[in-house]
């Protein structure tokens, strides 16, 4: 955290403070496998550094009695072209237990990288991971049914990658205008 962030941290809103408390529990358990806490006022988040442990972290977040993140609100994909990475951003809430919420980022290599699937932890992740795969092409290890979900199954390329070039024809039909 840089100096500016620290100053902002002193003025953390109640919402961010709750997220920080939840993060501290995760940090205590997983140490260096997770990054520093980012007190983003809109959506506080942390990043999973050792992405092989993402499955354990997910289970811990769901089952720990002080966390109980039982609701995955969203899972989005991101293309970090400059870093040569792809990533996901997951938003979690704890419905009926706590008011805290937090976002988790997981990244993998752009070429041939993979992220552990958490579809067995939150069933919501099943289709969300398929969508992220469909649009960005990162592989989710251990996903029960990793197929494209929106594009046709024989589509070429991953449309939301920043260097995506649309294919010329699809089944003999011209695609570009």
**Per CB under 8 A, 164 contacts another protein:** yes
- Binding residue for another protein (CB under 8 A) from 26, 101, 159, 163? 159
Give the separation between CA 72 and CA 113, rounded to whole angstroms. Answer: 23
Give the separation between CA 176 and CA 172, rounded to whole angstroms. Answer: 12
- The answer to whether 54 touches 35, Cβ cutoff 8 Å, is no
Which positions from 119 through 158 interact with another protein, judged by CB under 8 A?
Answer: 150-152
**Per CB under 8 A, 21 contacts another protein:** no
**Per CB under 8 A, 173 contacts another protein:** yes
Give the separation between CA 17 and CA 129, rounded to whole angstroms. Answer: 29
Give the separation between CA 17 and CA 169, rounded to whole angstroms. Answer: 52
Give the separation between CA 45 and CA 23, rounded to whole angstroms. Answer: 8
Residue count, binding to another protein (CB under 8 A): 13
State in angstroms the smallest separation of the CB of 69 from another protein. 33
**Per CB under 8 A, 162 contacts another protein:** no
Binding residues (CB under 8 A) for another protein: these are 150-152, 159, 164, 166, 170-171, 173-177
């Amino acid at each position: 955290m840089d100096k500016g962030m620290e100053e902002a941290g002193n003025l953390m809103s109640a919402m961010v403070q709750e997220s920080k408390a939840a993060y501290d529990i995760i940090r205590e358990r997983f140490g260096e496998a997770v990054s520093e806490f980012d007190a983003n006022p809109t959506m506080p988040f942390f990043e999973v550094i050792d992405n092989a442990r993402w499955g354990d972290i997910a289970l811990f977040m769901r089952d720990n009695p002080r966390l109980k993140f039982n609701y995955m609100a969203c899972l989005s994909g991101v293309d970090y072209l400059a870093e040569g990475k792809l990533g996901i951003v997951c938003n979690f809430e704890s419905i009926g237990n706590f008011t805290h919420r937090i976002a988790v980022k997981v990244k993998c290599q752009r070429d041939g990288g993979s992220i552990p699937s958490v579809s067995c932890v939150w069933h919501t992740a099943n289709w969300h991971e398929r969508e992220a795969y469909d649009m960005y092409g990162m592989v989710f290890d251990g996903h029960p049914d990793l197929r494209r979900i929106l594009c046709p199954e024989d589509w070429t390329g991953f449309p939301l990658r920043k260097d995506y070039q649309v294919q010329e024809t699809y089944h003999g039909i011209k695609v570009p205008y």
